[in-house]
Chains A and B, each alone.
Chain A
C-alpha cells in the first residue's frame, strides 16, 4: 500500500491564481481531511469528508473548496490564491473517522503564494 499520497510536493502561485492540491489513499478509508500547518499554530482543519459525496467545513474553510466523488480521492481547490494561504498542507485519512481512530497523514504540499 502507498498509504496517503499528495501531489505536488511544492508549488509557487501568484496572487489570484487557482490550483488543486491532490490527495489519494489506497486503504479504503471512509474519512479524509485537509489540514494546514503554520509556524507556531500547529495543524488546523480546513475541510473533511466522511464518505463519497459528503463533505463539511473545519476550522478554517474560507478560500478553499473540496469535493469527494470517490472513496480514494479528496482534492483541495484554491479558487483565488492569497498570500495568507502560504502554508504546508496535509491530507489525512482514517478508517471511519470515529473518535479515537488513528489518522494517517500524507507527506504534505508546501505552497507559497506571492
Chain B
C-alpha cells in the first residue's frame, strides 16, 4: 500500500526567510502528487499538484514543488514566507489502484508551518 512521510511535524521560520517542507512517498510506480494547505479552523485547499511533465510545479501563493522520481520525493518550497503562510501543510499521493474508477488519496502526517515576525 502507498504511504507518504512528511519528515518534519513542525517547522518554525522567520518572516521573509525561505522554507522547504519535505515529503517522501513509498511507491516508484506512476503516481500523482499533491500538496494541500489547511489554514486554522478551515478545510483543506489545493496548493499544487504533479500529474506529469515538468518536474517543477508552481502553485498558488508563491509555492512550488519539485518531483524527484529517483528519490521518491516531492518537497514544497517558498523563497520568502509571510505571516499569512502559517498553516498546516499536507502532502498526498493518489493511489495508482483505482476502485470503480475513483482515486484514493493517501495523506502524510502533516507539517505545521509557523512564521515568526
Contacts and interface: CB of A to CB of B under 8 A. Distances in A.
B49 A102 contact: yes
Interface residues of A, number: 28
A56 B98 CA distance: 12
Contacts, number: 69
A100 B108 contact: no
Given A41-B109, A44-B107, A45-B105, A107 B42 contact: yes
Nearest to A57: B99
Contact of B103 (A35, A97, A106): A97
Interface of A: 4, 31, 35, 40-45, 48, 50, 54, 56, 58, 90, 92, 96-103, 105-108
Given A45-B105, A97-B102, A99-B94, A105 B44 contact: yes
B32 interface: yes
B103 A98 contact: yes
Contact of A48 (B4, B51, B102, B108): B102
A58 B43 contact: no
Given A42-B107, A97-B101, 16 more contacts: A4-B43, A40-B109, A41-B109, A43-B44, A43-B90, A43-B92, A56-B99, A90-B43, A92-B43, A92-B44, A100-B32, A100-B94, A103-B105, A105-B44, A107-B41, A107-B42
